[in-house]
């Protein structure tokens, strides 16, 4: 059964729904839980020289680190074994990389409903892409 769970976590409402689902599963199975936030390098902040200013990246890294720390703290307050991870890159690649590295049995992520087909096409879906590449089972938590 699931002994290690990886939660792709971003602190959004959908992410918090996934966190609660993950906590329920971790409680029932006494599973070790890992939260991962993936920081994308935003293409809009590249300068003419082709790099992102260090202060912009550091500010974003700090914001994401705080989000992960908050999620880990919530789980630990509930008595769960929880660890936080921060990666930089494409979400699907980083989720799969860490899942394989840790040997997780289950990946949990939230679902953000897209408002239109164009939005789904333009932004893509981490969940759908993850289905093709994940090294383990996936649970997609959907809020009400």
- Whichever domain contains 35, its CATH number is 3.40.50.620
pLDDT of residue 44: 54
Residue 2's pLDDT band, with cuts at 50, 70 and 90, is confident
| pLDDT of 111 above 90 | no
* CA dist., res. 71 & res. 65, Å (int): 10
Instruction: Give me the number of domains the chain comprises.
Output: 1
The boundaries of the domain holding residue 74 are 4-141
Q: Is the pLDDT of residue 121 over 50?
A: no
Reply yes or no on whether the pLDDT at 119 is more than 90: no
**Per-residue pLDDT band at 129 (split at 50, 70, 90):** confident
What is the pLDDT, as a whole number, of residue 55? 78
Q: Quick: pLDDT tens for 29-42.
A: 999 999 999 998 66
């Amino acid at each position: 059964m699931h002994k290690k769970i990886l939660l792709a976590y971003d602190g959004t409402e959908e992410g918090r729904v996934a966190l609660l689902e993950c906590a329920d599963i971790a409680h029932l199975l006494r599973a070790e839980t890992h939260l991962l936030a993936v920081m994308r390098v935003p293409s809009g902040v590249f300068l003419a020289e082709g790099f992102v200013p260090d202060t912009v990246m550091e500010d974003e890294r700090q914001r994401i680190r705080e989000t992960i720390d908050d999620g880990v703290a919530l789980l630990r307050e509930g008595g769960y074994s929880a660890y936080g991870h921060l990666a930089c890159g494409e979400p699907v690649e980083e989720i799969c990389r860490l899942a394989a590295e840790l040997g997780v049995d289950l990946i949990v992520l939230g679902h953000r409903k897209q408002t239109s087909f164009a939005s789904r096409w333009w932004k893509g879906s981490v969940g759908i892409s993850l289905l093709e590449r994940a090294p383990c089972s996936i649970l997609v938590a959907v809020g009400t």
